[in-house]
Amino acid sequence: MAFTGTLDKCKACDKTVYFIDLLSADGITYHKSCFKCTHCKGTLVMSNYSSMDGVLYCKTHFEQLFKECGNFSKNFQTSAKPDKENALTRTPSKLAAMFSGTQD
């Protein structure tokens, strides 16, 4: 008995998906092995994935990318360094200068 594929193609690899290997998330068909986080390439299961605009993420990276910053257009490049550099180069407020001693 020969197995035939479905008419569906995997979104990740564009190959035919056999029923035994079919996984459907958000109405999109994937192979079980192609259902991976876009950032870390970790294999996902239905209980630990999130998606934004059809892009798959593990829960950890989805929260890191979207929930913590509250910005859906941000990418994984962090802006922590520029903020720290900016904090070190700015002058203290007048009130802080009164308690911080001299600048010399």
Q: Is the pLDDT of residue 82 over 70?
A: no
Closest alpha carbon to 64 in 28, 40, 35, 36: 40
How far, in Å, CA of 22 to CA of 15, rounded?
12
Between CA 66 and CA 73 the distance in angstroms is 8
With a cut of 60, say whether residue 83 has pLDDT above it.
no
Token pair 């009164």 is found at: 98
Specify the CATH architecture of the domain 35-69: Ribbon (2.10)
Q: What is the predicted pLDDT for the residue at 73?
A: 56
Structural domain boundaries of the chain? Answer: 35-69
pLDDT of 7 > 80? The answer is no
Residues 35 and 23: beta-carbon distance below 8 Å: yes
Regarding pTM above 0.85, the answer is no
Angstrom distance (rounded) from CA 45 to CA 16: 20
pLDDT of residue 13: 92
